[in-house]
Amino acid sequence: MPSRADLHTHSTYSDGRLTPTELIERAASNGLEVLALTDHDCTDGIAEALGAAQKHPRLLFIPGVELSTDLPREEVHVLGYFLDWQNPRFQDRLARLRRSRLERGRKMLAKLKGLGIEVSWQRVKEIAGDGAVGRPHIALAMLEAGHISSLEEAFERYLARNGPAYVEREKITPTEAVQILTAASGLPVLAHPRDLQHLEPLLLELKEAGLIGIEVYYQDYDQQTIERLLAVAHQHDLVPLGGSDFHGIGGAHERDLGDIPLPFQPVEQLIALARQRQPQQAPP
């Protein structure tokens, strides 16, 4: 059954294909009551989304972000909700992360060239538009140039963490991400944790830093995975949240906005926590 909320989405300001306005319109059309925009290392789409959401009083828009972090052998992503997104120190840190993404993109194209795959940097930037360059933009450019037959192939053969064209970003730890979000009055939530190694000790460390929730209902998670993660959330007293991770690109794993079994009760819990912790950012 579709959810009335989706707390993990991306727009053209990072690596999504819909503008913030188009994202809001699609959410309203799908009957959503709560939507969070969580672009990668970027909040530039929030102002536009807030303006678009004013036309839909039944839709609560949550300003958010998704920060990418690193551990020795894996990436960990942390979502932040109800941010003081105009905080100058927060924006300075995001700008550093975006510059790192730009340099990373150039280095990935150089690695691809070394593999005999020519991809135009200009075309990658055109695809990214106003957004920070990300791996999906490179994958789309590879697909356009006929180097691959699907976006999945780009990641599986070249761009995944252990792929031959992968390049690291500026590294921050998951704990630092939680601290950065908390300093910006955000409510931090661990994203898509199914395949993370050593999840239990990580959660203990992140909760100490201020983590309030964990994604339990995500994209293609099956019922067994949901039940396992729900038990983990309850064990650590974390709010069990979720989202589609909608990019609008398509592919085998993508779900439409709200096409996840996220119950509304934990969403209400998140909203109540926002009202309690940061009344200036929370909904009335």
Cα–chain center distance at 167: 19
Burial class (CB in 10 A: 0-12, 13-18, 19+), 259: middle
Task: Evaluate if pTM is beyond 0.85.
Answer: no
**pLDDT at res. 212:** 98
Do residues 256 and 30 touch, judged by C-beta distance below 8 A?
Answer: yes
- The per-type count for the chain, helices as H runs and strands as E runs, is 10, 7
Q: List, in order of start, the domains of the chain with CATH numbers.
A: 5-94+181-277 (3.20.20.140), 96-159 (1.10.150)
What is the chain's alpha carbon radius of gyration, rounded to the nearest angstrom? Answer: 18
Query: If you search the block for the tokens 């439409």, which residue do you land on?
Result: 256
Q: How many CA atoms lie within 13 A of 188 on its CB side?
A: 25
DSSP assigned state of 193? -
Burial class (CB in 10 A: 0-12, 13-18, 19+), 198: exposed
Dist. CA 121–CA 116, nearest whole Å: 15
DSSP 87-102: -HHHHHHHHHHHHHHH
pLDDT in tens, the chain (284 residues): 689 999 999 999 988 999 999 999 999 999 999 999 999 989 999 999 999 999 999 999 999 999 989 888 788 999 999 999 999 999 999 988 888 888 889 999 999 999 999 999 999 988 887 667 888 889 999 999 999 999 899 999 999 888 999 998 777 999 999 999 999 999 999 999 999 999 999 999 999 999 999 999 999 899 999 999 999 999 999 999 999 999 998 777 789 999 999 999 999 999 999 998 765 666 76
**pLDDT at res. 29:** 97
